[in-house]
Amino acid sequence: MSARPDSFLLFFILIPVLFVLVKRYWRGRSDLAAIGGKWRSGLLMDVFFIKWFFSSLFFILFVIFSILALAEFTGSGRITTESSSGIDIVFTVDISGSMLGTDIYPSRLKRSVDMISALIENLPEERFGLVVFKGSGIRIIPITEDFSAISSALPYLGPEMFSSAGSNLEDGIFTALNSFTAGEERKKIILLFTDGESLSGSTSMSAEYAKDRDINIIIIGTGTDSGVELYTKSGEPVLDEAGEIVVSRLNSMLLRNLSYADNITYLDISAPSVLSDSLTIINQQLESAVVFDQKETHYRFFLSVAVLFLFLYISVRIFPWKNTF
């Protein structure tokens, strides 16, 4: 079977090639008859015909096998594996006011930042990006090998970066998805840090989009189910419409429901093994191979034969025949 059957149209080239070769034979025959002399004309004609015949044959075979090489004939199907060349990780951090909750010491946001720093230290060979979201998502650091750029930005993450309220998780995920470089054979992972509170936007579309692009998402739930009263960085209590202090809780049920897809995993930042579990998942992706169905092509054989016939054609044309020319 040919991978490029359109190449067979090139066989039509043989028609003008044959025409030119035949025309060259008759012209050469006429020239020899004019200059060869009668006493040698028979010998000259015989040798000329033999050289023309074999040179023309080798040239036609060169054209034929060159076209067959272009057609890329394939053999039986086989599964080929290629190791992934690395991992791109986009840290996606919820920086809404609820992330200042101190039910996770010293705070949900600070614990997230500390875990990001630990992950970077344990994955020195990978590339990282940084996205934050509140009312919308913003890419702070594009995918880079310079982990110091990520580390230098982490201490400045906080709700004051945006004036909008709420947590638009969908926009945060889409911003992270669009942060990856297209066309690279690298594994892609989004590490999402959020408490799941006051989420807006539809997450189903972004989850499906991530699955279609073979991007894995690790959700790190920050906070506790019992929750904590919220205070601003200046120590002022955050009040609701009734004047009561807002109590923020980890919406673990919502976040766990998001991990229904095969490409999404949920982990709790309070778990002692959260760092090692995250590294295990990441390393499993790193060790996994890119598997695809590839058919073995035989163009090298046809190309080698074509080169051989080209060499024979040139040899017949340029090497003199002893005692004849």
Distance of alpha carbon 24 from alpha carbon 8, whole angstroms: 26
Question: Six-digit token pair at 275?
Answer: 């760092």
- Its CATH architecture, for the domain 83-291, is 3-Layer(aba) Sandwich (3.40)
Question: Six-digit token pair at 136?
Answer: 């919308």
Nearest-5° Cα angle at 171, 166 to 175: 135
With b for 16 or more beta-carbon neighbours within 10 A and e for fewer, the 203-220 pattern comes to: beebbeebeeeebbbbbb
With b for 16 or more beta-carbon neighbours within 10 A and e for fewer, the 294-309 pattern comes to: eeebebeebeebbeeb
Amino acid 43: pLDDT? 63
CA 104 to chain centre: 37
Distance of alpha carbon 113 from alpha carbon 249, whole angstroms: 19
On the CB side of 289, how many CA atoms lie within 13 Å of its CA? 8
Amino acid 126: pLDDT? 92
Nearest in space to 214 (alpha carbons), one of 264, 168, 143: 264
| Neighbouring-strand partners of residue 92 | 131, 192
Amino acid 72: pLDDT? 75
* H or E element at residue 128: strand 127-133
Cβ atoms of residues 161 and 137 within 8 Å = no
Q: Prior bond to 155 cis, omega within 30?
A: no
Amino acid 226: pLDDT? 92
* H or E element at residue 77: strand 74-83
Eight-state DSSP code of residue 2: B
Nearest in space to 186 (alpha carbons), one of 117, 89, 119: 89
Distance of alpha carbon 296 from alpha carbon 75, whole angstroms: 5
Distance of alpha carbon 92 from alpha carbon 99, whole angstroms: 13
* H or E element at residue 210: helix 203-212
Can you give the pLDDT of all 325 residues of the chain as single tens digits?
Answer: 666 778 888 888 889 988 988 888 888 777 767 765 554 556 666 677 788 888 888 889 988 888 888 887 766 555 455 555 689 999 999 999 899 999 999 999 999 999 999 999 999 889 999 999 998 899 999 999 998 999 999 999 999 888 777 778 888 999 999 999 877 778 999 999 999 886 666 677 777 888 888 899 999 999 999 999 988 878 888 888 888 998 999 998 888 887 777 889 999 999 999 999 999 999 888 776 544 455 556 678 888 888 998 888 888 877 765 555 4
Amino acid 10: pLDDT? 85
Gap between the terminal Cα atoms of the chain: 46
Q: Of how many residues is the chain composed?
A: 325
Amino acid 297: pLDDT? 63
SS3 content of the chain, % helix, strand, coil (to 5): 50, 25, 30
Residue intervals in the chain for CATH 3.40.50.410: 83-291
